Chain A
Amino acid sequence: MNVAFWQRIDQSARSLTPFLISVALVLLSVVPLPLPGFAPVVPALAAMSVYHWAIYRPNLLPFSAVFAIGVLYDLLSGAPVGLFAVVFLSVYGIALTQRRFIAGKSFIIYWFGFAIIGFGAAIEAWLLASLWHLTLLNFRAVWFQYLVSVGTFPLIAWTFMKWQQTLLIER
């Protein structure tokens, strides 16, 4: 009984990690990096996290968690509140519908999936922000941020994969 209790605690602690990793990535993406010119193209780390868990462990990252991650990102980054909540929910929803085609296939397909969904998300965020401010925002930085995100995706995704294989093995 005691053993079972600790196992349950252990299991739920492990199940919380996708959400906690996402929150940590949100915090990480607003930490000031003293690299000239880097700030406007900081990769969309939280979006990668949402995409990854939607594909591999959607049961561990429910809709409400995605919503919370988005709102947290909006609040900390100074974006209109709700903007990235909408964007992350869209990424999550679309990734969910495509997970049969992506999960368990080759890494290239998984990466390609992010490239396509990420592009849609970048356009969506840019359109919504432009609409919110009632002015056409600069698309160049959005495009470069997208390229940097797609470029750094394999590194981040590899970390997620390792984490998932060591800590989130399904029994």
Chain B
Amino acid sequence: MDQRPSTILRIPQPLKSLVQRFTYLGLIVAAFGLMLIGKIDAVIVDQVRGEVINVAAPILGAISRPIQTMANVVDGANAAIDMRAENERLREENARLLQWQTAARKLQADNAALSKLLQVVPEAQASYISARVIASARGTYGNSIVLNAGAVHGARKGQAVLGDAGFVGRVADVSSHASRVLLLTDVSSRVPVMLESARARALLVGGNVNRPRLVFVTPGTRVTPSERIVTSGDGGAFPPGLPVGVVASVTDSAIEVQLFADYDRLEYVRIGDFGLDGLVGRHMPEKNE
């Protein structure tokens, strides 16, 4: 720019020095080494990631709050503009939901009576902790969010994370005051699910794109668009019946699922403790136990 060019030329050319060249190559090799370690032993990398997130969490929490507030103000202004129409819509929805409530109450009573009759083993009571989303990185290279709740608040690796609309993902790394959640869209996310009405099992596989896919669907199942997908509870990692999404498109090559969770607008989520230790608990015992 308008800098004196002579000052730029006066700085010694860093690549000229042999030592620096070796440093450069050494660091590149080290970075490749890190990638390899991450591939071979993910546990170590997860622990380091957890610690770094723990340190960064207070800063991220501080930055994310004013941005969220600003977004809320904008949302509030938008809501005020079409309040009338929104009110009308909510009134209608409320009427519809009240009908559903009656139906649900009846089913709940039926269910309780039948369960008692058949002496069904009761499911463990779930408890939840709520946490704020303080960081989110979604895209081609990974899909995860960071929450401001950690081990001291009761978060544990492998727990299910729920938003207002449905299943969000699972806790991947936990440190003392923060945790990272692997979203369903991440390329390494695999969740056992089922088609709600057909009761056919499948695996929900992320691909770092907006819509995860269904694979290993029970043979002979006809999958149709707009069928609801819920967790199946297979493997004991997540409880059965958590709402996941609906089938968005069915082609010869892939069955895509539109998730209920709106990742663009996640602000607060719940970490569910369903009393399951599932796959994670069996393979990775807690160190301090």
* A interface residue numbers (CB < 8 A to B): 27-42, 56, 58-59, 63-64, 66-67, 70-72, 74-86, 89-90, 93, 96-97, 99, 103-104, 107, 110, 125-126, 128-129, 132-133, 135, 137-139, 141-142, 145, 161, 165, 170
Contact, CB under 8 Å: A32 / B133? yes
10 contacts between A and B (CB under 8 A): A31-B63, A34-B68, A34-B71, A34-B264, A75-B49, A78-B144, A85-B34, A104-B8, A129-B140, A133-B187
Would A141 and B139 be within 8 Å (CB), given that A33-B67, A93-B24 are in contact? yes
Chain A residues with CB below 8 A from B142, complex form = 77-80
B139:A82 contact, CB within 8 angstroms: no
Question: Contact mask B5-28 → A, CB, 8 Å, 1/0?
Answer: 101100100110000100110011
Residues from chain B with Cβ under 8 Å of A72 in the complex: 52
At the interface, yes or no: B59 with Cβ under 8 Å from chain A? Answer: yes
Measured in the bound complex, the distance between the Cα atoms of B39 and A71 in whole Å is 15
The reply to whether B34 and A71 form a contact with Cβ atoms under 8 Å apart is yes
Main DSSP-derived SS at the A contact region: helix
In the bound assembly, the distance between CA atoms of A142 and B142 in angstroms comes to: 12
CB pair B38 A96 closer than 8 Å = no
Taken together as a complex, chains A and B put the C-alpha atoms of A103 and B10 apart, in Å, by: 13
Q: Is the CB of A135 within 8 A of B187?
A: yes
Q: How far is the CA of A1 from the CA of B225 in the complex (A)?
A: 78
Q: How far is the CB of A35 from chain B (nearest CB, A)?
A: 7
Min Cβ gap A31→B in Å is 5
The complex places the Cα of A79 from the Cα of B63 at a distance, in Å, of: 21
